[in-house]
Amino acid sequence: MKLTGIPVSQGMVLDKSYILTAIPEFEMEEKSDTPAEVSIALIDRAVHQVLGELKTSKLRMAGNTDHIALIQVQEAMLDDACFREDIIRNVKLGYSPEAAVMRAAKAQEEMLASLGDPYMVARAEDMHDISCRLACCIADKNYPDICGMNDPAIVVAQDLLPSMLISVDDSKVKGIIIERGTKTSHVSILAASIGIPMIVSCAGAMNIKDGTMVFLDSDKGEVYSDLNDDEHKRFMEIAASFSEEKAKLKDLAACEALSADGERMIVSANIVEPMGLSKVIENGMDGVGLFRTEFMYMNRKKLPTEEEQYTVYRLAAEKLAGKPIIIRTMDIGGDKTVECLDLQHEDNPFMGYRAIRICLDHKHIMLTQLRAILRASAYGNVWVMFPMIATAKELKAVLDMLSEVKAELKEQCVPFDAHIKVGIMVEIPSAVVMLDVLIKHLDFVSIGSNDLIQYTFAADRLNKNVGYLYNYMDPAVLRLIKHTINIAYRAGVECSICGEMAGEALGMAALVALGLKKFSISPSLGLMAKKRMSLLNAGKLAEVGTMMLEVENADEATEVLKAALPPKYS
């Protein structure tokens, strides 16, 4: 039997299946005659119990910072006063304890799911996860758990939530097949960061029999079960070959990223929160090229304090031990209200009130974050980056705020890096056009290819109806990128890219052909990126880069590039 799904992280593995039971469902309209004080006491006992379980998991995972960071997120959600207030309100409206919890969680989930950034949307899954676990505890129902795995196996589930994955020894989970799920869910991001082969949206996955041999090819998004002897032998050979290649990749962790002709390339990481740092270090990456700080603002009624932000930024800087960490200031859109920001709904949020535009109107948000970033700069190689800069006037405004904060800290004798490097995301066509003006005030620029592509074609990257326009190989996009690189290099300013384009084989080759030497990608792709770099002759590809800019469409540009790539490049 062959099934197909969406690949999340690369891998080929042959092993027995471990079928995970479905997550219990709770009726959110269920009422109860139980006195409110009794229901609240029951809920509080359940919260205490789940917090205890999380604490035990944290102790068991000592040293695994990725897992510990995720546990801390869920602890914070359980301890959130707003979440508890909403639960109590539902109880007083006559809902059962389980329904009260699920209703309060749903309100938070809907808010998180409405956000434009897919990485932040994944926070909704964390809320659903912890609320299901809490409701199971209240109802005395078993919460699906893969801790019962005695032997290594490929986990097959209808859905999988983050706490299920953090509760088990990674070495036992050889692969994951999810019948539902999305590529950008939190559990998918976690699996990718750990390096577990995974496929989501795999229809029919729950028809796989427990304990049978399964071959998972998460490169192609394919699953094979009910294997005959010939298939078993063939897939065993394929899996063994992949394991050998994976072992060879690990040797690259201690190596610099070099092109085939000896050009030094910089391969840094995009991280959503500090949990991604372990993989950055493990894969020998050159630092963090994009630290998204939006998670600090999610799921809360009050803005994060300076001290909260400073603590996170300092820990990250210290852990990188001198390697650069580029902290991007808050980049949240106005499509729906983010509770602590009190934003209004907009009909066209990606073209509206977001990121730097919010901070220019609400200076206290930016000033607080800049103080935290500057204070953390005393403990590592911290750089600061501003998103969504469209005009020179906006850049001057944020630089004035940075100077203001520097003056305050100096007067207060608070240590910070007075020469902290400053940069912007180049993701709006106007910034590309005016870059020769903007560049005079910058130490670096980072191309945000995801937004640059959608703004170039006026095509929402989340809208399937205009998806055909979203193509980084189109000459219009390539020309904008090349112009950005040229302006930066002429000014002696560092230039990198932190969009998804850099993480794909074809995209990376195109960027090298255009002359780029600095990339920021998912931590799990660090070793593969080094391997790809070693196959590319940067000098010879430069000629191809010129040709790519002269063709008429993306298909022609792709054809020109592929013809110049080495046979083993993928």
Q: How far apart are CA 232 and CA 235, in angstroms?
A: 5
Helix 97-113 / helix 36-60 crossing angle, nearest 10 deg: 60
Contact 370, 417 (CB under 8 A): no
Q: Which long-range contacts (CB under 8 A, 24 or more apart) does 561-567 make?
A: 561/473, 561/506, 561/509, 561/510, 561/513, 562/506, 564/513, 564/540, 565/509, 565/536, 566/260, 566/535, 566/536
Long-range CB contacts for residues 519-522, cutoff 8 Å, separation at least 24: 519/265, 519/266, 519/267, 519/268, 519/289, 520/267, 520/268, 520/269, 520/270, 520/288, 520/289, 520/290, 520/326, 520/446, 520/496, 521/267, 521/268, 521/269, 521/270, 522/192, 522/193, 522/269, 522/270
| Residues linked to residue 257 through DSSP beta bridges, in sequence order | 265
Phi, psi of 4 (to 5 degrees): -130, 150
From the candidates 202, 359, 495, 498, which is the catalytic residue?
A: 498
d(CA 406, CA 316): 21
Q: Which two tokens stand for residue 42?
A: 């029951």
- For residue 500, the one-letter residue type is E
Torsional class of 444: left (φ above 0), alpha (ψ -120 to 50), beta (otherwise): beta
Cβ atoms of 477 and 471 within 8 Å: the answer is: yes
413 is catalytic: no
**What pairs with residue 7 in β-bridges?**
199
CB 534 within 8 A of CB 258: yes
CA nearest to 372, candidates 411, 315, 444: 315
DSSP conformation letters of 122-172: THHHHHHHHHHHHHHHHHT-PPP-STT--S-EEEEES---HHHHHTS-GGG
Of 186, 340, 359, 495, the active-site residue reads 186
Q: What is the dihedral of CA 344, 347, 351, 353, to 10 degrees?
A: -10
Backbone angles phi, psi at 102, to 5 degrees: -65, -35
Q: What would the two tokens of residue 152 be?
A: 């290594």
Q: Which of 74, 31, 49, 40 is nearest to 137 (CA)?
A: 49
3-class DSSP assignment, residue 73: helix
- Is position 82 annotated as part of the catalytic site? no
**For the stretch 214-237, what's the b/e string if a residue is b when 16 or more beta carbons lie within 10 angstroms of its beta carbon?**
bbbbbeebbbbbebeeeeeeebee
| CA count, 13 A, side-chain hemisphere, 14 | 17
Chain CA centroid to CA 251, Å: 25
- Catalytic center residues: 186, 498
